[in-house]
Amino acid sequence: MFDCQIKCSDKDIYTYKIFGSYFCQQNSFTSVCGHAALCMTINNTDLSKIGIITAERLNKFLRIDHKSKRIRENINILDTDIISFLESMGLSVVGKKFFENLDGKPVIDYSEYLYRYIESRHPCLLIFTTKGKNEMHIVPILGHTLNTDLWKPEAEIAYSNIVETEALKFNYRSASAWVDHFLIHDDTFGMYSCLPVDLLRRTTSFKSEPSFRAMKAIIIKPKNVKTPAWEAEKNSIEIMEDNIIDVINLSRDAVNFWIHELAAYVFNKLNTPFVVRTLLVTKEDYHKNLNHRDFGDIMFTIEEKKEIMEGLSEIFWLTEITLPDLYTANKTKLVDIFYKSDADRDVRDENWIQTRLPGFLIKKSKKTFVPLGVSSHYPLFRFKEAHEIYEW
C-alpha cells in the first residue's frame, strides 16, 4: 500500500492510497541495477520505519557525489555495498555465494536455497553473471510459479543416480523441484517477468561456463533467526524417520493408514520420494492454520490446538513432509516438524521442538505421544491475506 498525492495547487492536495508493486529503473547516470533492485526490494516490503528507499539515499551512504560531475564512470554497486547499507538501517542480512571458489562447481542449488526464504516471505535479491565473466546483474525475487505436472522431480530419483547425495540418502525432494519460474522485477525489461529456474542453473565450473549463471543471493531476515533453513530441513527429515519408528514401536495397533504409508517410505526406500517444504512461520500464523479440516473432514479440537501451540516460540522453522501425489494434486501434507530458528549450534535433538504426525503429536518437552483426531492429510500452511491472491 502506497501513499500518493495529486497536487492541484498549494492548498488543494488530494491524498489517496493505492495497492500495487513498486518499480523503478536505473538511469546509468546516478544509478545502476544495484540501486534499482534495492529500491524495489525494500519498497515492496512492510518496513515502514525505514521509509521509501531511493537511489540517492544509497549514493549518500556510499559517498557517491554527482554534484560536481553528472556522470560517474564505472559505477559498480557491489553486493557488499548493499549488505552494508541494509545493515546500517538495522536490518539482519544473509549474503550467500553459491560457490566455495570460482574454480569449482556450485556447492548448493541456488533455487532450492532461495525457495525456503521466498516461501517465508523474506525479501530476496539474486545476482547473476551476464555476457562477461565480470559483468553481473541483480534482480529482486517476488515469488514463484509452480508446475505440478513436472516429470523430473520424481523421475530423476526413480530412474537415475544423479540426484544430490542428501536427497538420495533420505529419498526426498524439496518442494522447490516443482518451481519452474521465479517472478522478478527487472529494471531493464519490466515488471513481473517469469525467470525460468533452469536458465541460471549450471553444474559446470565457473571457468568453463561463466556467463548467465546464478552467483550470489542477498536475503533480509528477522534479527533473531540464526538457524539456517537448510539445517532445519535436513535435520527435520531425520527426526521424522525416527519419529515414525518410535510410533510403530509404541503401539502397532494404533498405527493408522497414513503412518503405514510413511513407514513404507522410511523402511523400503521406495523410488517415489518424500516431498519436503520448509519455511519460517510465526506462532500466530500457524495457529490460524489449525482451523482447516483434514481429508477425513476432521478438525482439531480446542484442547488439541492448545496442546499443539503450547511451548512454541514466537517464530520457528516449519518443515512440512508429504507425498508427491498429495502435494501436487491436493496441496496437503502428512507431517509437521517444528524446529528452533534461533539456535546457535547445529544440535538436532536439542533444536527439535515437536512433531505432528497423522493421529499423533510427539512433544519433546513432555516426552509424550498425544493422540490427535486429525489422522489424514491436511492443507499445507498458507499465510492469511487481507485480500485474495492466487498462489498456486
Average pLDDT over residues 95-118: 89
Distance CA 153, CA 112 (A): 13
Beta strands in 265-311 (DSSP E): 274-282
Q: What percent of the chain has pLDDT over 70?
A: 90
pLDDT of residue 30: 83
C-alpha cell at 296: 477425513
Lowest-pLDDT choice from 135-149, 197-211, 215-229, 251-265: 251-265
CA 345 to chain CA centroid, nearest Å: 21
In the chain, what is the greatest distance between 2 CA atoms, to the nearest angstrom?
81
| Per-residue exposure over 341-374, b if at least 16 CB sit within 10 Å of its own CB, e if not | bbbeeeebeebbbbbbbbbbbbbbeeeebbebeb
Taking the whole predicted model, whether its pTM rises above 0.85 is answered as: yes
pLDDT of residue 251: 67
Sign for the pseudo-dihedral over CA of 204, 207, 211, 213: positive
pLDDT of residue 385: 66
Confirm if 376 and 384 have CB atoms less than 8 A apart: no
- Listed in sequence order, the residues at least 6 apart from 360 whose beta carbon sits closer than 8 Å to its beta carbon are 247, 259, 369, 370, 371, 372
pLDDT confidence tier of residue 209, bands split at 50, 70 and 90? confident
**Residue where the block lists cell 493408514:** 257
Left (φ > 0), alpha (ψ -120 to 50) or beta: where does 36 sit? alpha
Distance CA 220, CA 90 (A): 11
pLDDT of residue 44: 86
Beta strands in the chain (DSSP E): 2-7, 13-18, 92-97, 124-129, 136-146, 172-174, 179-186, 190-196, 214-221, 274-282, 315-322, 332-333, 335-340, 352-357, 360-363, 368-371, 378-379
107-124 pLDDT, tens per residue?
Answer: 889 999 999 999 999 999
Distance CA 260, CA 357 (A): 11
Virtual CA dihedral for 347, 348, 352, 358, nearest 10 degrees? 180
**Residue where the block lists cell 525432494:** 173
Classify domain 2-221 at the CATH superfamily level.
Cysteine proteinases (3.90.70.10)
pLDDT confidence tier of residue 384, bands split at 50, 70 and 90? confident
More confident residue, 342 or 159: 342
Domain residue limits, the chain: 2-221, 229-379
Distance CA 78, CA 53 (A): 17
- Listed in sequence order, the residues at least 6 apart from 139 whose beta carbon sits closer than 8 Å to its beta carbon are 33, 37, 125, 126, 128, 184, 185, 186, 187, 195
pLDDT confidence tier of residue 71, bands split at 50, 70 and 90? very low
Cα-based distances in Å from 135 to 179, 314, 341: 27, 42, 36
265-307 pLDDT, tens per residue?
Answer: 887 666 678 999 999 999 999 999 999 999 999 999 999 999 9
CA 7 to chain CA centroid, nearest Å: 41
Distance CA 223, CA 354 (A): 23
